[in-house]
Structure formats: C-alpha cells, structure tokens
Chains A and B, each alone.
Chain A
Amino acid sequence: MARRSLESIPLLLFISLIFFAILHNVPGGPLAPYLQNPHITAADIIRLKHNLGLDQPVSVQYFSWLSRVVRGDLGYSTSNSEPVLQAILERMPATLILMGSAIVVSLLVGVTAGLIAALRPYSAVDYAITTFAFFGQSMPVFWFALMLQLAFAVNGISGFGYQLRLPSAGMCADDACPWWDILDHLVLPTTVLSLFYVATWSRFIRSSMLEVLRADYMRTAAAKGLTRTRVVLGHGLKNALNPLVTVVALALPGLVGGAVITEQIFAWPGMGRLFYSALGQFDFALLMGYLMMVSVLVVLCNLLADIGYAILDPRVSYE
C-alpha cells in the first residue's frame, strides 16, 4: 500500500508536465492577458517576461513553477486579480457540494434500482429500470439541463392545484444563504449531474447482484435459516457493493467534466465555472491550478478507493 501511495507522486508529476507543456502553447503564453492592454508597451512586456523568468527555457520555467507549487504558491490569477489558490479554494466547497450530492443520489437511487431489477430479473420492473438506464446513459446532459430548466424554471410543473417551480441559477437566492435554500437550488443541478451515474451504476449493481445471487454462500446463508431480507441485504448486497468502490473512483474524472457543464448551465459558483471563464481569457496560472487541483483530487480518491477496496474485500491485496 505504501508503494501504491508513492506511485501517485510520479503520476502527478507526469500529469503536471503534460498540462504545463500544453498550456505553454497558449498564444502569448502566460502574459496573454497583458498583450491586449493598450497601456502596456512592448518594452513593458519584455521587462515583465524577464522579471517572471519567461525568457528562460521551458524546462527551467517548469521547475521554477514546480518549486513554487510545492510551497503552496499556485501563482496569481490575471482574470480574477487574486491568488490562484485563494480563487480555487473559495469555489471548491460549491463544487464539492454539487459533486458530493450527485454521488450520494446516484448511489442511493442507482443501488436501489439495480437491486430491485436483480431480484426480479426479466420482469416488467426490470425492463422498465433497464430501459430507463439506457436512456440515462444516452442523455446529453446539457440538453437534459435545458429541458429541466424549461419544465421547472420557465413554466413550472402544475398539478393538483399546486405549482412546482425550482430555481435554475446560482446557489442561493440572497446573501443569507440558509441550507434549505442551497438544497432548493441543488435539486436541478444534482439531477442533471447524477442521471448518467444513476443509469450506469444501477446496471452495474444489477449484473453484480445477479452474479452474487448464484454464489454458493448465498445458498448456505439461506440454508442456515436466515430470512430472505437478511440473505439478500446482509450477504448479497454487501458483496455486490464492494466493486462499486472502484467504479465510483473511476467515475470521478467524468464527474469533474460533468460538473464544468452543469455549473456553467446553472450558474453554480464552483471551480468548473471559474475554469470555464478563465479559459476565455487564457489565465495561465488559474487554468494550470485548476487542472492540477482536480487531478490531485482524482488521484487521491483513487488511492482511497484502492485502500477501501482492500479493507472491504480481504481477498484483495496490493503487493
């Protein structure tokens, strides 16, 4: 396990190298935002380049960037006029709330649906769940988001004398920002972000549950007189759930990408939105900081998943 943790360091270094090499091709380089400013002359640019070390070879620049990053200095955001680390950390909670609630909802709904489908294979319920899963897997999220906005925010769904309207932009209605208001604003973005994972995880649980139900230990558990509920949940689901840890970890990079789109459409004040606006202005430090931050997040979660999997399933060991 120690070796596995150590392996993530060269992994992250390599990722940072790729990002650095790519971002260095931004036209104008890290000084791109200044090039359009009429108050900054060509002489200023040359001086700035020299002061920031941008006239040195890329390799030298990379190592000076790296040495600053390990000391916690991610640079200064030109588009937000604040340190990159501060800009990212300010918006990280919003993104973590959104991604976290999407994961929780996907797990709850996905596992329940998969379990129901597996307990009655080839029944009408199973077909309904499978069909839903195929639709969920094939749905373009941004279009789904627009349709939800159309239904719940523009028109509002009415029935039984009530009208259901949900907010479709931002995280709170006002500065007070009580938790129930955040919850209200979370409904649509969470639905959008979790749809794909509800769909894929329910299919995953269905097939892994079907496999577990055929296992010998299930018959043993039933034979020793346990109730069906205890057999299915205590012995069956417990074993079917283990590989889900890995599946969730593998879904993280996709979730990060999905969060960028979702935050953009629902004006959710998270990191993804920050990244997207930095993209238009070629804010080198912020783009680099965001990409590294999400990569660290993904690598860290993968490591945790490996550890968790080894704890859950004693047959697994990392040598």
Chain B
Amino acid sequence: MIGVAASLPNDVVVQRHGAWKRFVKHRLAVVSGVLLILISLVAIFAPWLSPADPNAIDQVHWNGFPLAPGVGNHLLGTDENGRDVLARLIFGSRISLTVGVVAVLMEILIGTLLGAIAGYYGGWIDYLIMRLTDVFLCIPLLPLLLVLTAIVSASSNKAALGFGVIVVIIGGLSWPPIARLVRASFLSLREKEFVEAARAVGNPDGRIIFRHLLPNAVAPIIVQATLDVAGVIITESALSFLGLGIQPPTASWGNMLADAQENLQIAPWVAIFPGLCILFTVLSINYIGDGLRDALDPKM
C-alpha cells in the first residue's frame, strides 16, 4: 500500500511547505484574522458581553423615537422601538457568522461531491453535471432566493422564516463554482502517475477520490469557500434587508438596516452601525481569502 504522503507529487508538497509563513507575510490578512477572531468571540459570548437584552424596550427613556447614542446608557443609541442598538449588533453577529459558515459548509459538500464525480468519471456523467452547473450559473441568484423565501414564509403558519431555511436555500444554490473548481483539479490530477499507481494496486474509486485526489484539490476549495463566506453574509443581509430573510424580532444586521431605512433622516445612527459591522466582517474575510490564496497557491 502506498502512503498518501509518499504518493503526493513533488510540486504539491512544495506548495504546502511554508504556506503558513507566506500567510503571515500578508499583513492585512493577519490583521483581518485577528479581527475576525474578535468578532467570533463576540458572537460566542454575546449573552455575557451584551449590555442589554436585544429585544428589551427601554421603558424608562424611550419616547416613541429612536434614542440618540449616549442617552440613557445606550452607547450606540436605540432603534425606533427603543431597543439597544449595541445589544442587537452583538446578537446579530451570531446570525451573520453562522449563516455564512453553515451555508458554505453545505455548498462545499454538494459542490465537492458533484465536481469530484464529474471530474473523476468524465463522459456523460460529467456532461450532465456540468450542464446542471451551467443552469445554476445562468439563473440570477437573488430573485430566485427571494421567490423561494417568499414561498416558504407564506406556506408556514407563522412567519417562521428561520435560520435553517435561509441556510439551506443559500447553501443549496451556491455550489456551482466549487463544483467547477473541483472538477477542473480532478481532470488534471487523474492522469498523474500517483493516481495511476493507486488504481493499479486495486484501490476502489471512492478511496482514490477521497484519499488520493481530494487532498490535492483542497487549496482552491479553501480559497473559494473563504471568499464565499463573505458573499453569503452579504446575501443573507440583503434578504433580511428586503424583509425575506431573518424575521424580526430576531436581530440580524440586515433586518436592522431595513428598520433603519424609514428613520434615516432623524436617526442615521440606527443605519450606520449595522452596515459598518457587515462591511468590516466581510472585508476581513475577503482579506483572509486573499492571504490564503497567496499562501496556498503562489502561482495564482
């Protein structure tokens, strides 16, 4: 039996070697990494860090209008319902990060599986799967997502358009780029000698795909998936902004912006902070993705 490490072609080994060193050299990626860890910690420890209950109305100070930052111990003010903006931002981070990560995990699962099957077997299976990806790459994603979430929200008794539905819908529709990447790597890898060798000693297809081919196709998947987390966070907040994502009273950065829109003139702070949170979270993820690209594939 040939070990996996021994069967790796030389260039792959060279690429992996020093990846961490190259990543650390990308200073903005490192700063972004630290920022993202901080944001994740805030999300994890939200109940302990939050200055107030995100859905509690400040009965003492609230007068029917958003309270300005600083009034009545609200560091970032309150929204039009008298709820603390900072508390809602802190709890909203949980939605954005989990939707981003879970939807992308789902997209990786579907995309990798389909891409691997297409690239490994080729022929008519490949043709069918690739035509399917073509279909999904041609369909404007946002309108389709809106139709799906609108149907789900109308079919269920209450407005139970929850986290799970959003994740499944976004993750289930955004796998084509991953499938294409995996297929492309598999197409070039399957002719290599180490795959030939693995096949010659009688490994079953599944073992060749998962133990020999996939580990060598991981780098582009990691880069694409990281950038997709950023994309999914934007998509989720756009859906919530349009009223067809995470439903109030649950706080998400997107639906906070939807509420803020009406009071933009008198209470701009309600709109400014959720947007800054989305911007800097997505920005840091994009920088990390860029750093990973430099680190994992110096040729790109």
Contacts and interface: CB of A to CB of B under 8 A. Distances in A.
Interface string A117-160: 00000000000000000110111111110110110001000000
Contact of A261 (B135, B137, B142): B142
Contacts of B208: none
Contacts of A268: none
A279 B142 CA distance: 13
Interface residues of A, number: 50
A256 interface: yes
Interface string A176-217: 000000000000000000000000000000000000000000
A84 B133 CA distance: 29
Given A142-B257, A279-B147, A257 B140 contact: yes
A298 interface: yes
A258 B242 CA distance: 12
Given A138-B286, A140-B278, A146-B271, A260 B138 contact: no
| A interface: dominant SS | helix
B287 A140 contact: no
Interface in B126-167: 131, 134-135, 137-144, 146-148, 150-151, 154-155
Contacts of A291: 139-140, 143-144, 147
Given A134-B286, A146-B257, A140 B271 contact: no
Interface string B96-139: 00000000000000000000000000000000000100110111
A138 B147 contact: no
A140 B238 CA distance: 8
Nearest to B155: A27
Nearest to B146: A279
B143 A143 contact: no
B18 interface: no
Interface stretch (B62-70, B77-85, B181-189, B261-269): B261-269
B271 A150 contact: yes
B283 interface: yes
Contact of B141 (A135, A141, A253, A275): A253
Contacts of A11: 131, 134-135, 138
Given A143-B275, A146-B257, A138 B230 contact: yes
A142 B243 CA distance: 13
A143 B279 contact: yes
Contact of A282 (B146, B148, B154, B268): B154
Interface residues of B, number: 43
B283 A135 contact: yes
A199 to B, nearest CB: 10
Given A146-B271, A261-B238, A264-B242, A139 B279 contact: yes
B234 interface: yes
Contacts of B279: 135, 138-140, 143
A23 B147 CA distance: 8
B237 A254 contact: no
A85 B272 CA distance: 40
Interface of A: 10-11, 14-15, 18, 22-23, 25-27, 134-135, 137-144, 146-147, 149-150, 154, 250, 252-254, 256-258, 260-261, 264-265, 272, 275-276, 279-280, 282, 287, 290-291, 294-295, 298-299, 302
16 contacts: A15-B139, A23-B151, A27-B155, A138-B282, A140-B237, A142-B238, A143-B275, A147-B272, A147-B275, A150-B264, A250-B137, A253-B138, A256-B143, A280-B150, A291-B147, A295-B140
In the A-B complex, the 10 residue pairs with the smallest Cβ-Cβ separation, listed nearest first, are: A257-B142, A143-B275, A256-B140, A138-B283, A138-B282, A253-B140, A140-B278, A142-B241, A257-B140, A27-B154
